[in-house]
Amino acid sequence: EQSPVSVMITDTDGHIEYVNSRFNQLTGYASEEVLGNKPSILKSGKTPLEDFRQLWANLKAGREWQGIFHNRKKNGEVYLETARISPLRDEAGEVTHFLAVKEDITERTRLERNFQLAVEAAPSAMVLSNSKGLIVLVNSRAEQMFGYSREEMLGQSIEMLVPDETRQQHAGLRLAYQRGPKARPMGSGEKLLGEHRDGHQFPVDIGLNPIETEEGVMVLSSIIDLTEKEALKHKLEERNRQVVEAHALATVGRMAAMVAHDLRNPLSSVKMGLQILSRSRGKEANSEDKELHDIALEQVYYMENILNELLAYSQPVVLKREWFDISKAIERTILLCQGQFQHHQAQLTFWSEPSLPTVYGDPHRLQQALSNLIANAVEACAEAGIPKPLVSVRAHLDLSREAPLVCIEVIDNGPGLDAETCRHVFDPFFTSRAKGTGLGLTIVRQIIAAHGGIITLENEPGGGARASITFPTRPQDSPAEAFGKAVSPAAESGAGAEHQLSHESDD
């Protein structure tokens, strides 16, 4: 009578012969109202018929049955209860009665359902594991994060979600946590990794929450994928670095402009004085004086070039745009570099795709950029002691994008670039040479960027280096407009026409 569960005894035909007080409290029926009736007095119509078939099949075979009933109280309220129904036998072993022990699980089921809904609605991945470390509940976010379906995870060890190399350690930590469970972050201060079904690992943040149950302590793990957070963190750090660098370079640029401006007039005076001295001395100067004079004048020209680069770097690139023939502009640039080719006994070849379109840009600025790339290529070969420097200039049209692009490549047979140079080649004031400001390629990049283009510098597979500048043939609102949208590959035109412009010293 004092049992916390309801008890019912029926004869073999199902007529109720006994109920306890817990049954009366739960159902609202007095004992005299149910005695002689069948348990169907509680029927709500919500318990599947198949459950009743299995129930009677087991009882007739003399076996116990366990299941869940959706029953109805006297006041019409539906409740949920677990039931364990066993056959009772007399001394001869004959079944004389059936004993039903039932427990109301309505509130527990409601709480479990609400818990499951809360877990499912959580923005982070949620994984509930039992005291043995087996997964008993996951939400859809966990499925997305780890790549496994719910069915594949349920009943499996939670160690399936961590990398192989840390599974043994994780199992040990899990057992230690069971001895003193409390809500806390996992591995505070340590880098934690999860493992996707496809094998890739990703950083995670995990919160542990113990839940007391009849089966023991379960642990609800709240898991957050930090991949996007770390990417955003790195992006912000990079943006901050760029802002700091931009401020620093702006300050350097202003100082460079001041220094260049203050030195330009005195340097012009020195240059003019040397030129006047050369004319006044004329043939009277001996060979030693003439050599010293030439060295001094050469250094003046060198310093003048440095000042020009400082001024060019410190000022914004202003383009004087016009429509022009890009092939002719390249040929003019090559002719202007002729003296340098002869000085270093270098050979240059120029290949151009036929019928390149006219380009809307600043021809003088583009020639400045191209001549700088050619000069760099020749000097790289000369400094490396290449016996016969070879520089190739190639121009073609890139039709893989929505807007046509002109691509000009400068290829040399020099030593190529080391890793440090590759990383910093476009940084202001970076140079791997004994002389120079390290601003040449920075200015080239500024010029190409002003045309809405890009520049790349990379090693050639067979040796040497390749500098490539690519820019639209017509003005674009942004570089993304020119480079961001690809179209289906167009048929390349012909084999191209090759112009051999060889500049070699006469041997």
Give tens-digit pLDDT for 382-398. 888 888 899 999 999 98
3-state SS, residue 270: helix
> Rounded CA gap, 204 and 389, in Å?
54
pTM, 2 dp = 0.47
**What pLDDT, on the 0 to 100 scale, is given for residue 214?**
80
> Rounded CA gap, 165 and 62, in Å?
53
Paired sense of beta strands 454-459 and 390-398, if any: unpaired
Q: What is the Cα 310 distance to its own chain's centre?
A: 37
Asked whether the beta carbons of 221 and 159 are under 8 A apart, the reply is: no
Asked whether the beta carbons of 210 and 181 are under 8 A apart, the reply is: yes
More confident residue, 315 or 68: 68
> Rounded CA gap, 231 and 241, in Å?
15
Asked whether the beta carbons of 307 and 263 are under 8 A apart, the reply is: yes
Question: Position of tokens 């992006």?
Answer: 235
396-418: string of b/e by CB count within 10 Å (b at 16+)? Answer: bbbbebebbbbebbbbbbbbbbe
Strand partners, 9: 18, 99
- In the Cβ-directed half-sphere of 42, how many Cα atoms lie within 13 Å? 25
**What pLDDT, on the 0 to 100 scale, is given for residue 268?**
75
Mean of per-residue pLDDT scores for the chain:
84
Range from 46-50, 236-240, 302-306, 334-338 carrying the lowest mean pLDDT: 302-306
Tokens matching residue 56: 């009677």
> Rounded CA gap, 362 and 453, in Å?
13
pLDDT at 507 over 60: no
Q: Which domains are seen in the chain, by residue range?
A: 6-104 (3.30.450.20), 110-225 (3.30.450.20), 230-314 (1.10.287), 322-499 (3.30.565.10)
Angle at Cα 464 formed by Cα 461 and Cα 468, nearest 5°?
A: 85
**DSSP per-residue string spanning 54-104:** HHHHHHHTT--EEEEEEEE-TTS-EEEEEEEEEEEE-TTS-EEEEEEEEEE
Question: Position 337: which residue type?
Answer: C
**What pLDDT, on the 0 to 100 scale, is given for residue 499?**
37
Nearest to 475 by CA among 319, 325, 358, 361: 361
Q: Is the dihedral of CA 50, 56, 61, 62 positive or negative?
A: positive
pLDDT at 304 over 80: no
More confident residue, 382 or 64: 64
3-state SS, residue 295: helix
Determine what percent of the chain falls in helix, strand and coil, rounding each to the nearest 5: 45, 25, 30
**What pLDDT, on the 0 to 100 scale, is given for residue 488?**
33
Tokens matching residue 459: 């090693």
- 470-501 pLDDT, tens digit per residue, is 999 887 655 555 555 443 333 333 333 333 33
Asked whether the beta carbons of 404 and 357 are under 8 A apart, the reply is: yes
Nearest to 83 by CA among 69, 73, 97, 96: 69
The residue-averaged pLDDT of 23-50 equals 94
- 66-77 pLDDT, tens digit per residue, is 999 999 999 999
> Rounded CA gap, 499 and 501, in Å?
6
> Rounded CA gap, 423 and 168, in Å?
41
Burial class (CB in 10 A: 0-12, 13-18, 19+), 462: exposed
> Rounded CA gap, 136 and 158, in Å?
10
The residue-averaged pLDDT of 211-216 equals 85
Asked whether the beta carbons of 59 and 98 are under 8 A apart, the reply is: yes
Nearest to 82 by CA among 99, 63, 101, 56: 101
